[in-house]
Amino acid sequence: MPDSLSFNLLTLKKRATADEIHADLQERIDRLAYREEKYRGCRVSAPRPITPNKNGHNWTVAGFPDLPSGCFTEVVKIVDQARFEYELVG
């Protein structure tokens, strides 16, 4: 029996267009804003394709237009989580 076992985990991502990912991101931000008022008005730009990185992410957002003070950290967390969940198509 081997001393250690290694597993290759297969990560399945949802395939979605930029518009679909953008809508999901904004819904997540809106839910956060519903719970905490300081996040009202937080927005992200639409996803754009990138060369897949070492984590397999094939998209990023171009920026955070007119981001109110105090939003950046939580919005980045939301985007990072979505990048693990979605593959950009089309």
Please write the tens of the pLDDT for every residue from 7-65: 555 668 999 999 999 999 999 999 999 999 999 989 999 999 999 988 889 999 988 88
Q: Which helix (H) or strand (E) holds 35?
A: helix 18-35
Mean pLDDT of 69-89: 94
Return the closest-CA partner of residue 59 out of 37, 42, 44.
44
Higher pLDDT, 5 or 46: 46
**Per-domain boundaries in the chain:** 14-55+83-90
The helix (H) or strand (E) run that includes residue 23 is: helix 18-35
* Amino acid 4: pLDDT: 57
SS3 21: helix
Spatial distance between the Cα atoms of 44 and 50, rounded to a whole number of angstroms = 17
pLDDT at 60: 96
Biggest alpha carbon distance in the chain? 58
